[in-house]
Structure 1
Amino acid sequence: MVAGILASAALSALYARGGAGWLLGFVMLAPWLFTLNASRTLAATLGCAYLMSLAFTAAVFPWFGIALGRYTQTGAGIGLAVLLLAAPLFQPQFLAFALVRHVAGRRHGPLLRALAAAAAWVAAEWLLPKLLGDTLGYGLYPSRLMRQGAAIGGGAGLTVLLLLANEGIVAALARRRDGWRAIAQPFALAALGPLLLAGYGLAVLPDKDSSVVAGKPLRVGLVQANLVDYEGMRRHKGARAVVQEVLATHFAMSYDAVVRRHAEVVLWSETAYPTTFGHPKSAAGAEFDREILANVRAAGVPFVFGTYDIDSDGEYNAAAFVQPGAGLTGLYRKTRLFPFTEYVPEWLDGPRLRQLLPWTGNWRAGNGARVFPLRLADGREIPVLPLICLDDVDAGLAITGARLGAQAIVTMSNDSWFSTDPEGARLHQTVAAFRSIETRLPQVRVTTNGYSAVFDASGSQLAGTRMGEPALVIADVVPSQPAPTLMVRWGDWVGRAACAFLLLLAARATIPSWRSEGEGATSPAQPAMRFPVRVAVLPPAARFAAALLRALARAGLLGICVALLLNEPLRTNTLAQIRLFSGLFLAPEIASWCVLLAFAAQASIDGAALVLTRGAQRIELALGEIASVELWRLPIPAAGLALRLASGQRWHYGLALANPMAFAAALGLEQEQPGAVMGVYARARLALRRRKLDLPLAKFVLLPLALAIPAFHLHQHIAYGSAFGEYYTFGLKAYLTAFALWWAAWSIGVVLSAALLRAAIEAGTLMAALLRPAQVVAVRSWLERAGRLALYLGLPGWLLANLYGA
């Protein structure tokens, strides 16, 4: 096991270094997969996954721990130790992959197991966005052909193909002794991913010899000033002198870009101007603002640079758009902040934490992607999408910008904390390049001290800089409005599709238990009754009260459905829905349950007597005194039966319980059915066993949760620009409250859908009892199956259709 894990970690390290190492991506996990195949127990599988997450982090991301330790001034060793300690949280996909692979392998063959495990990998990365936004697919960037597949499925889609290729290699090697025919199929699976990616890349990439250029190029100038230690400079020179030096350096390089190199727009890096712009904090700040405006007017071209913004809520990491003559035309506020460096969650913040982590900032998050116009000297107006630092790891922001009409992406970053560990800066640039592939938009990316670059719509680097040196990059990019890629049309869809696939697979696992559901239409087999059994011993008044309350609750559900159909504002008012649901359904339902609880007892057979006990109370009824049992015509407030005594009279109390037919069989009594149609209907309701998917936990808790998560995820991206946008903006309490409301809304929707389906099932059963009494159990069995499919597949399908159309 250790050898397999170390081998995969070593191959992963070579793969992550780039260059020709991208070829290793199709085999690098094979040694680890062999160890998973040898792990027979779940505990061994999870242990193997934990060790792999640890080894992978140590092999591929040691630079991150070292950089973290240096940035926080705790030392490289401490930073690396913390990273390794948090490896399962940093790379949780290994645990999800191994868990699902193990469970699926018990029930399915190698192909479905591989698909389920790959889906679990990308679903985990989608549900738990990683700090650096990394995924295996980004390692294919060195291959110009292979990386084009990101336009269809993003980095997650490439990851799925890599995982399937690794699974195919392992399956083929496991069958190597069975001859070439046995290994042909898994080898074909392994080769399918590379062939598909290469074929797609050849189909979409333009001919290198083609000289056709669509539209007039935009000449950009990127200023990489290589000024990084602002804080150290302040301590030695003072704040005013530092700002003067920073501006002087940038002005000089910008002059060179505009006057000598004829740039049409000038870009500075993230936080290049180390104070607020447009809202000066002091007279010196206002003077510096005027100096920038004067230089922009003199240059005659628009400037875009990193700065800060401020309002009554706090301060923001921002990008300023300044036009000659017009001045400041807009400020983009960074959406994705780096935790514990740029911000601290409000619920965790406090003086003690600030004292323990003095480097933490207190910036606020922006509200998502925005598109700004660049007005050039020749009269052209080019809409561009600005992204700051960690924004470029979020495919959703780039996709939103493309939908808003952006014709180019402007990315700015400060990767100076990777100065001694350039692997981090290189990974960041690679991830940023994928935003161009996914949207087919060119991108200009400027950083403080490297790597700065210009990318075309295929993700190819047209120009770039080295790390740790001042540099001026001049390049021509062609703004365009390309046809929307699948990623732009559907969004980052692979993670959502993976979640849906896993849900369907889980639902499929229950289908075999449905097959014999309708057998024995005339005399269905009943499971043996195990005593004691829980019953409710109901006098007529108590049964009437409980039945009335439950009937009111069911009528309330149908009333809510009608109200939602007729009242459009109610459909978007979650709080009003909760109030209606609580008043019309929950209140009478809980009251009915309380009545049943008040008369609850334990039923058992003691010798020749039926014994009902509740605490110290005890009722005994000799079996010889009971002539027969009669099922209730209507199963309200629950299924139940009445006892017919030998004297011909009914016993004063009725018994409500889950399975009255099995109860009667256990007593060895005859079952009477007064009323032909209602009797057949009652028997049909009790003939079918309750399935796991019918349990309230699965139907009304887990299913709404599974539906609420992707819907809430999309809402966060639309309303706040990222998966945790509301959390970054308003804190954990607001974020959890919002999610709870979404969960509640979906729970209400599922309950209402189930109520409508239940009404249809009962009506269909009653009709069958009237017209085809001999087939009523079979008819009800099919109706129950159709209801489960409508609920567990129909609702997710409806949600996916709406998500894909978003």
Structure 2
Amino acid sequence: MRMSVDRWRRALASPWQRGAVAAAAGTLPALAFPEPSLWWFAYVALVPWMLLIRSAPSGRRAAFDGWLGGAGFMLAVHHWLMPSLHVFILALALLLGLLWLPWGLLVRRLLGGSPGVGRAAAALALVPSGWLMVELVRSWENLGGPWGLLGASQWEVTPALRLASLGGVWLVSFLIVTVNTALTVLIALPVPRRAAVAGLVACVAAAGAAWAWAPLPERTGSARIALVQPGVVNGIGSREHRVERGEELTRQLAGHEVDLVVWGESSVGSDLGSRPDLERRLAALSRDVGADLLVNVDAPRSDRPGIFKSSVLVGPDGPDGQRYDKMRLVPFGEYVPLRSLLGWATSVGKAADEDRRRGASQVVMEVPGAQGLRIGPLVCFETAFPDMSRGLVRDGTGVLIAQSSTSTFQHSWAPEQHASLAALRAAETWRPMVHATLTGESAVYGPRGEPVGGRLPTDRSTAAIYDVPLAAGRSPYVRFGDWVIYASIAALAAFGTAESIRAFRRPAPGPASRPARTAHGSAARPRR
């Protein structure tokens, strides 16, 4: 055992080997997300990374370990982007990994060396707060958005979803990092182990009390909503073939008394204003089925310049003017940031040849033939942003609708990861969420985040009907917003202030520690 420990110490003494270990440790949390879905692993996955950081010989090395671990995590949780971005994804991972530099410093400051009970106890609140700051910054859409937030790994855990209704995904992330921190203290620090055990017990007790207290949504009925998933359509004219397949599947819904039919992202490749024939076909389809269609148009608009991705409600008389233009676009997938400098990315991977345009605001749509049903559309990775679904519910949305594609990533973790976000958004807002895709996975979740019916996997080309439960009221998260984020900022600000005061009050070196001076005022040189 002693030889094994010594061998590890020698390996970690090498900057290159230590860097490789840090990057590998950072990849571990990705296993908690779909497709592996080892949700329980999230509560221990950060421990190896944190143990490595606390053993760093200097703050600079701890920051470096934080950076490489963060890059490893970003690469692992987004690895399915490699076919599209190729080597460019490595540069993006290293760039985003820089966000974990201060987190590495924080972990070493609180857990490095032989901290006392007070410092270890403070770490239980401050280390998770630091992690949330990283998640908050990288949630900015121009940095790729909040894909892979640690709390999102708990999408199928009922107690965690109930906590999400209190504080959103942020509260779940905070809980996960707190447990990891307590386990790190328990393993590595002999003095404050009682504090670690007490912290774990307190964490479990607090989570249990919050779960028991958390209110539940009030059920108010149901809506009958159909999802149309045409599947993969290849070849020349595939856009038109996709519309034809969507029409074919939608006609099968006639006579089933559905309230709404939802098509996936980019299900229509031509603007309806410039294609009156297509507009008439969709209106006739709505009449045949007896329900409005929510389609998604990915094309240059006839009434303004540029390409938009738009959710359009089509009734028996055609589009009724209710339209939502996608606001948050995927970097490189739908536009190239600083195209004049980074336009070469289009030749390296599958970056957008032409930038999409952004919509101006979110839209809540009234479905005329569905007894006052109000829907809030989101397009593609907009479902990863908790503030967007929260805003729609505050504006009166009854059902959240996600229109997605993921057809580029058929045989990867992406379709299941994307669909799982709908469970979290539903639990946060007390509103059911319908996730309709072109090629799978499509899914529906109720107002508690519970699955409704079965998923439509990526090998299915079908239409499916779901009786979607509706709910009233506002969840605590919808009412109070990101209070967990604000509390974390306050905790870190208080810690930073205390550290500054401590440094200011630290006594200056006394005369005994200064070198003796000669009669001429110069420092005396030691005798050889």
TM-score calculated relative to the size of structure 2: 0.82
1:425 match: 415
1:39 match: 56
1:125 match: 135
Correspondence 1:674-753 to 2 at 5 A: none
Alpha-carbon distance between aligned partners in 2 of 1:204 and 1:475, rounded to the nearest angstrom:
27
Q: Aligned match of 1:187 in 162, 172, 197?
A: 197
Against the structure 1 CA distance between its residues 267 and 48, is the aligned structure 2 distance closer, same or farther, given a 3 Å change threshold? same
Q: CA deviation at 1:44?
A: 1.5
Q: Do structure 1's residue 487 and structure 2's residue 487 form an aligned pair?
A: no
Against the structure 1 CA distance between its residues 85 and 491, is the aligned structure 2 distance closer, same or farther, given a 3 Å change threshold? same
Q: Aligned match of 1:257 in 253, 256, 260?
A: 253
- AA at the equivalent of 1:323: G
> What secondary structure does 1:427 align onto?
helix
Q: CA deviation at 1:339?
A: 1.2
Q: CA deviation at 1:64?
A: 2.8
> What secondary structure does 1:462 align onto?
coil
1:239-297 residue CA offsets vs partner (Å, 9 max, x unmatched): 4xx454333211221121232x33221110011011112x21xxxx2211221122222
1:535-569 residue CA offsets vs partner (Å, 9 max, x unmatched): xxxxxxxxxxxxxxxxxxxxxxxxxxxxxxxxxxx
- AA at the equivalent of 2:174: V
Q: Do structure 1's residue 90 and structure 2's residue 71 form an aligned pair?
A: no
Alpha-carbon distance between aligned partners in 1 of 2:160 and 2:358, rounded to the nearest angstrom:
35
Q: CA deviation at 1:142?
A: 2.5
> What secondary structure does 1:109 align onto?
helix
Q: Aligned match of 1:270 in 236, 252, 265?
A: 265
Number of equivalences: 481
2:70 match: 53
Against the structure 1 CA distance between its residues 50 and 509, is the aligned structure 2 distance closer, same or farther, given a 3 Å change threshold? closer
Alpha-carbon distance between aligned partners in 2 of 1:31 and 1:350, rounded to the nearest angstrom:
36
Q: CA deviation at 1:30?
A: 1.2
Q: CA deviation at 1:475?
A: 0.7
Q: Could you tell me which runs of 5 or more consecutive residues in structure 1 were left unpaired when the two chains were aligned.
A: 70-78, 208-212, 517-806
Alpha-carbon distance between aligned partners in 1 of 2:503 and 2:121, rounded to the nearest angstrom:
23
1:143 match: 157
Would the aligned equivalents of 1:436 and 1:442 in 2 still touch at CA under 8 Å? yes
Q: CA deviation at 1:443?
A: 0.9
Report which structure shows greater RCO (CA 8 Å, sep ≥6). Answer: 2
Q: Aligned match of 2:241 in 239, 245, 267?
A: 245
> What secondary structure does 1:363 align onto?
coil
Q: Aligned match of 2:500 in 510, 528, 531?
A: 510
Would the aligned equivalents of 2:325 and 2:360 in 1 still touch at CA under 8 Å? yes
Correspondence 1:464-479 to 2 at 5 A: 464-479=455-470
Q: CA deviation at 1:140?
A: 1.6
Q: CA deviation at 1:456?
A: 0.2
Would the aligned equivalents of 1:162 and 1:193 in 2 still touch at CA under 8 Å? no
1:26 match: 43
Q: Aligned match of 2:277 in 278, 287, 290?
A: 287
Q: Do structure 1's residue 414 and structure 2's residue 405 form an aligned pair?
A: yes
1:607-641 residue CA offsets vs partner (Å, 9 max, x unmatched): xxxxxxxxxxxxxxxxxxxxxxxxxxxxxxxxxxx
Would the aligned equivalents of 2:49 and 2:69 in 1 still touch at CA under 8 Å? yes
- AA at the equivalent of 2:422: A
Q: Aligned match of 1:152 in 166, 169, 186?
A: 166
1:364 match: 357
Q: CA deviation at 1:132?
A: 5.0
Would the aligned equivalents of 1:148 and 1:458 in 2 still touch at CA under 8 Å? yes
Q: Aligned match of 2:84 in 44, 51, 68?
A: 68
1:745-778 residue CA offsets vs partner (Å, 9 max, x unmatched): xxxxxxxxxxxxxxxxxxxxxxxxxxxxxxxxxx
Against the structure 1 CA distance between its residues 512 and 432, is the aligned structure 2 distance closer, same or farther, given a 3 Å change threshold? same
Q: Which is higher, the Rg of structure 1 or of structure 2? A: 1
Alpha-carbon distance between aligned partners in 2 of 1:36 and 1:410, rounded to the nearest angstrom:
42
> What secondary structure does 1:145 align onto?
helix
Alpha-carbon distance between aligned partners in 2 of 1:290 and 1:349, rounded to the nearest angstrom:
43
Correspondence 1:96-115 to 2 at 5 A: 96-104=102-110, 109-115=119-125
Would the aligned equivalents of 1:88 and 1:95 in 2 still touch at CA under 8 Å? no
> What secondary structure does 2:195 align onto?
helix
Would the aligned equivalents of 1:46 and 1:99 in 2 still touch at CA under 8 Å? yes
Against the structure 1 CA distance between its residues 127 and 53, is the aligned structure 2 distance closer, same or farther, given a 3 Å change threshold? closer
Q: Do structure 1's residue 398 and structure 2's residue 389 form an aligned pair?
A: yes
Q: Do structure 1's residue 169 and structure 2's residue 169 form an aligned pair?
A: no
1:472-522 residue CA offsets vs partner (Å, 9 max, x unmatched): 22111123332x223212323433432333223222333457889xxxxxx
Name the % identity. 20
Would the aligned equivalents of 2:292 and 2:367 in 1 still touch at CA under 8 Å? yes
1:100-138 residue CA offsets vs partner (Å, 9 max, x unmatched): 233456897122234222212111221232525221111
> What secondary structure does 2:439 align onto?
coil
Q: Could you tell me which runs of 5 or more consecutive residues in structure 2 were left unpaired when the two chains were aligned.
A: 1-11, 13-17, 507-528
Q: CA deviation at 1:420?
A: 1.8
Q: After superposing the two structures, state which structure 1 stretch, 310-319 or 451-460, moved more.
A: 310-319
> What secondary structure does 2:220 align onto?
coil
1:376 match: 369
Against the structure 1 CA distance between its residues 364 and 405, is the aligned structure 2 distance closer, same or farther, given a 3 Å change threshold? same
1:332-360 residue CA offsets vs partner (Å, 9 max, x unmatched): 01111111221123663798676677743
Alpha-carbon distance between aligned partners in 1 of 2:356 and 2:304, rounded to the nearest angstrom:
12
- AA at the equivalent of 2:494: L
